[in-house]
Amino acid sequence: MALVTHGDEKYRTSEKLAEARDWPGLSIEHRKFEAGRQATPVPVCNELVMVLSGGGIVCREGNGEVQKSLARPGMSYLVPVGTQESSLELSDRMECLHVYLPPALLDESALTDFDIDPAKVEIAYAHGLADRILFHICAPLRDLLHRPRQPTDALFVGGIQVALAAHLLGHYTIDRWQAPGKALSLDPRRLQRVLDYIESSLGGDIRLEDLAAQACLSPYHFSRLFREATGLSPHRYVTDRRVQAARHELARDRMSLVEIALEFGFGSQANFTRVFRKAASLTPGQYRELCGGGADAAIDRGIPQGLRMAPQESEIQPGVHPLCCRSDQLPLEETPT
């Protein structure tokens, strides 16, 4: 079954010199462009554009990101499925090879070749790629468009599909590719997704790998970017949130200390007591006794300001850490999460 693509809708002003749409899971087009603006429909599959001849300035905007680069023969551009492009303009004429890949192909490669949950993988909206390996993988496809078919072509194209999918996942996911001159960051949307995951998982085993997967980042990059965004390491943030949740439950006086320890991921009452004492300079029992029936009573009884409950916030901005109460004053030690 032929792959459904968006090329004819997006590049209505171009001249299509050749195409092949009868290979399973792959469609190829050779197009000639004049200078000018192109349409920007939402792509229904992943698209790789490789400049074959000509060149000029390519200006495009997608997912709120403005990109401008000098296109030369051999350079490539990626347009992931679902990208919300709002503009695309070429300054000069050029010829390009367009390779369309279905999302299922990259999903299968993510699972088979990288042992990664496909739901956690996102191809980057990458531009101006002077990648010789990518060029050598895709360049033979142009020749296939301009010569008679051979019995071995299907096998050859299948090999290119596998190599291309693996190369894109290995180098051009959002955590692996970085735009020239742009520092990698943990944007508010992904940060909020991580924080929501933490809140829903306080009672379980929260691993660094799981948090990084929520942000579609490697554990190494995630740890650094999370600290930049919140001012805390992932471990410190999780521990602070567990202590804060335990404080709230202690003030309500509805659960035993053992139940609270297990409910919020401390593992045991002994570990709960140790971590809580480190954070609050009080044991859980002492804190509950001082609370004596609720947060209002706690204030009346003189619990220090730094030990009171912090208000929950609905939104998180980079560099702000509203979910933890006076976390800069909590000298927590590193404990297993």
Domain assignment present for 294: yes
Give which of 291, 63, 231 is closest to 282, Cα–Cα: 291
Residues 18 and 157 in one domain: yes
Which tokens is 89 given? 């303009």
Higher pLDDT, 115 or 65: 65
Residues 87 and 216 in one domain: no
Task: State pTM to two decimals.
Answer: 0.56
List, in sequence order, every residue forming a beta bridge with 46; answer none if it has no partner.
101
* Residue pLDDT, tens place only, 206-261: 999 999 989 888 888 899 889 888 888 999 999 999 999 999 999 988 999 999 99
Give the domain extent around 20: 7-171
Residues 145 and 22 in one domain: yes
Residues 303 and 214 in one domain: yes
- Residue 317 burial (CB count, 10 A): 12
Q: Can you give the pLDDT at residue 321?
A: 37
* Residue pLDDT, tens place only, 118-140: 777 789 999 999 999 999 999 99
Residues 19 and 157 in one domain: yes
State the CATH number of the domain containing residue 237. Answer: 1.10.10.60
Domain assignment present for 2: no
* Residue pLDDT, tens place only, 265-283: 999 999 999 999 998 889 9
Residues 129 and 264 in one domain: no
What DSSP designation does 314 have?
S
Residues 213 and 321 in one domain: yes
Residues 260 and 303 in one domain: yes
Q: How far apart are CA 163 and CA 137, in angstroms?
A: 7
Domain assignment present for 37: yes
